[in-house]
Amino acid sequence: MRRLEGRVAIVTGGGGEIGRATVIRLATEGASVAVSDIDLANAQAVVDEVTRTGASAMALQTNVASRTEVEAMTRAVRESYGRIDILCNIAGIAPPSPFLETPDSDWDRTIDVNLKGVFLCSQIVARQMVADGEPGSIVNMASTNGLVGEVDMVAYNASKFGVVGITMTTAIELASHRIRVNAVAPGMIRTRLSQNFLDQNPQMAQAYLNDKIPMARFGEPSEVAATVAFLASDDSSYITGHTLVIDGGQLTF
């Protein structure tokens, strides 16, 4: 299935686990992918993996909290590929700390990357899409933490609630330009962080899965990537402003 043949996508945070899975899925479906990450080596490693399959990809080092760098990223992709059809705002951080002990530095950094980064990338790339007169799709990385609270995650929760709000607002404002905006809201996904939790606290982790997640397992990055690809594709052509939860049923409790 190559639903994205001939399209050009940007994936921020493309060097991370969910970002990498998203890049691979979009490339598999036919897209040329710009892999943007604050760590250029991580981005290049993903590009190397993708290009070995014969797909087209390029690596870009970008701090998504910097307007100058996001503008440079957008220009580079437009100059290299001639268009931008898809933006996947995957970049994010999640430093935990109790509310009463959260330092300004953690708050500022989390809001900058997770929320300001989505604002900047969406605004700058959407301006290019509008200037080109072509339809587009923006997919934001929210979280179940953007729909319900979680202890020790005040900055992350606030940022992800904000992403849900940005998604709805930009969907309204960009609809007349034929740009759809949606978000995915993953729950517990199997990444290095969650795997460490499993390895170090196997009984606690299993109890959490059994008590809180009806499907009794972590999700996989590839499952998040598949959902992002759906929202990026024409299969979701009448969906905008929506946040799609990927949590194994956790929020049903």
SS3 content of the chain, % helix, strand, coil (to 5): 55, 15, 30
Distance CA 166, CA 237 (A): 19
**Residue 81 among the catalytic residues:** no
For residue 209, the 8-state DSSP code is: H
Distance CA 145, CA 187 (A): 8
- 189 phi and psi angles, rounded to 5 deg: -110, 140
For residue 192 the two structure tokens come to 């290095």
Count of residues in the chain: 253
Biggest distance spanned by C-alpha atoms of the chain? 54
Other beta carbons within 10 angstroms of residue 19's beta carbon come to: 28
Catalytic-labelled residue, pool 81, 156, 208, 238? 156
Pairing of strands 32-37, 179-186: unpaired
Q: Quote the strand ranges of 3-56, DSSP E.
A: 8-12, 32-37
Instruction: For residue 16, give every residue at least 6 positions away whose Cβ sits within 8 Å of its Cβ, in sequence order, or none.
Output: 37, 42, 90, 91
Catalytic residues: 156
